[in-house]
Amino acid sequence: MDSGRIVPGNASGSGAARPAGVRNREPGMETPFNAWFECFSGCGARRSLEDIVYRCPNCGGLLEVRHDTGALARVPAGEWKARIASRALTDGGVWSMRELVLPAIEEGNIVSLGEGNTPLIASPRMAERLGVADIRIKQCGTSHTGSFKDLGMTVLVSMVHRIRDRIRAVACASTGDTSAALSAYCAAAGIPSIVFLPRGKVSKAQLIQPISNGALTLSLDTDFDGCMEIVRQVTADGSIYLANSLNSLRVEGQKTISIELLRQMDWTAPDYVVAPGGNLGNISAIGNGFVLARDLGLVDRVPRLVCAQTERANPLYRSYLDGFARMDPVTARETLATAIRIGNPVSFPKAIRALRATDGIVAQVSEAELADAAAFGDRFGFFNDPQTGVALAAARKLVAEGRIPSASRVVIVSTAHGLKFSDFKLRVHEGRVPASEPALRNLPVEVAADIDRVRAVLDGKLPA
């Protein structure tokens, strides 16, 4: 594949000559771009992305993936736009921006299942009902395993593929979607995977994916935070590679959500981007994506990020109320939004930096609000999972309170496909979820197979 190909009509502002060296797809050609692990606490420690290391070897703090932004910024913005647009269909959403994500990976080590390139769908009808100028849903769940975790996992498993002679297996703790993505990408590459799930706290659709993909699946009698503690110990000696977002390589691919949606909006920034937050890797990655896009001149400003949490697992919201002065964990309580039931988020400080960098907001919503918002969104042709329900509910609330002004352009990051959460959706329609809007419920009408009875139902239900 020739990555330098420019698709006619798609190359917005790409008059500049292609700089030599960016064409790192050709074998034998060294990429001029560099990325490495660096201490997030600022002690200056650096390690190679090939090293099996999750915390700073100096101070024990978090690591993050850093890029040589100066070298990236020497490529004209128009060139990046043309390059990303021209590769998007053939290389997928993540690898169309490979220099911004994992510049040194060889073509032969990339493990891809066609992730990214997910639709950004505008809903003028929903915007009108909400009282906001423009609302679009970024459908990250329209992806191989049904959630945005694929964007992160393609990058992580590609690195594992490169260093596979040094590891026995890859492991993760999961609220469901991480294990689905890990097991699929590992199966694609022929690498053993191990997943730790909190027993009875993931949906059937989420459990069946790692099982089907042949992962060693351990069901533990604890919650996500308990599974995380076990997986930390299992991966401590480096022989089993950690696929949770404590490993900062896991979220690097997720920043492409931001750059991809900017491309879909013709390189203009929306005013607000709303995403649900649990372990807070995704909101951090989304923030990084927007900041990078601005630093490379792809857009002239960043949108304001909104992180939406359920009030049953709201450590970031509590910290926000306190001006981010503290980062106290909470004990996550039972919630319909099972994928964000996390009380002690790994990426807490990174999320705070992302929110500060984008003048962000944190909102919390109740169980009834998230259930109603998910069902409300479905009435405009979507099919929302409960986590997206949290984001939609937060957006609804902020618009109603005037904190998102009515002239705004808003993007909701939908994190998973609703089909993964059909139990939740059925419960809403059966009225088994507390205090949901009864008008949004819709159950099958049981009627005899008789034309007169059927006509009577139609006459009763349809407008004349």
Ligand X SMILES: *Cc1c(COP(=O)(O)O)cnc(C)c1O
**Which among Zn ion, ligand X, none contacts residue 61 (Cβ within 5 to 8 A by kind)?**
Zn ion
Task: Write down the least CB distance from residue 415 to ligand X, Å.
Answer: 3
Q: C-beta of 54: minimal distance to Zn ion in Å? A: 12
Of 80 and 320, nearer to ligand X (C-beta) is 320
* C-beta of 32 vs 61, nearer to Zn ion: 61
Q: Considering the complex, what minimum distance in angstroms separates the CB of residue 285 from ligand X?
A: 8
Name residues contacting ligand X, limited to 171-190 (CB under 6 A): 177
- Which residues inside 406-445 make contact with ligand X, applying CB under 6 A? 415-416
Q: Contact with ligand X (CB under 6 A): which of 202, 339, 404, 412?
A: 339
- Give the span between the Cα atoms of 344 and 258, in whole angstroms: 25
Q: Is 277 in the site for ligand X (CB under 6 A)?
A: yes
Q: Which of 118, 179, 282, 310 binds ligand X (CB under 6 A)?
A: 282
Q: How far is the CB of 416 from ligand X (least distance, A)?
A: 3
State the Cα–Cα distance between residues 45 and 210, nearest whole angstrom: 36
String of contacts with Zn ion for each residue 1-40, x by CB under 5 A: --------------------------------------x-
Task: Give the residue from 142, 141, 215 showing the smallest Cα distance to 184.
Answer: 215
Contact partner at residue 282 from Zn ion, ligand X, none, CB < 5 to 8 Å by partner kind: ligand X
Does 127 engage in binding with ligand X (CB under 6 A)? Answer: no
Q: Which does 177 bind (CB under 5 to 8 A by kind): Zn ion, ligand X, none?
A: ligand X
58 binds Zn ion (CB under 5 A): yes
Nearer to ligand X, 76 or 152 (CB): 152
220 binds Zn ion (CB under 5 A): no
Give the nearer residue to Zn ion in terms of CB position, either 41 or 219.
41
Which residue in the set 385, 392, 394, 397 belongs to the binding site for ligand X (CB under 6 A)? 385
Q: Is 56 in the site for Zn ion (CB under 5 A)?
A: yes
Long-range contacts of 102-105 (CB under 8 A, 24+ apart): 102/35, 102/49, 102/155, 102/158, 102/159, 102/249, 102/252, 102/253, 103/24, 103/31, 103/33, 103/34, 103/35, 103/67, 104/31, 104/33, 104/34, 104/35, 104/49, 105/158, 105/159, 105/162
Smallest separation, CB 350 to Zn ion (Å): 14
Among 7, 16, 29, 43, binds Zn ion (CB under 5 A): 43
Pick what 87 binds: ligand X, Zn ion, none; C-beta below 5 to 8 Å, kind-dependent.
Answer: none
Among 11, 36, 46, 59, binds Zn ion (CB under 5 A): 59
Q: Is there binding between residue 88 and ligand X (CB under 6 A)?
A: no
Contact residue for ligand X among 278, 343, 360, 418 (CB under 6 A): 278
- Write out the residues near ligand X by the rule CB under 6 A: 147, 149, 177, 245, 276-283, 339-340, 385, 387, 415-416
Residues that bind Zn ion (CB under 5 A): 39, 41, 43, 45, 56, 58-59, 61
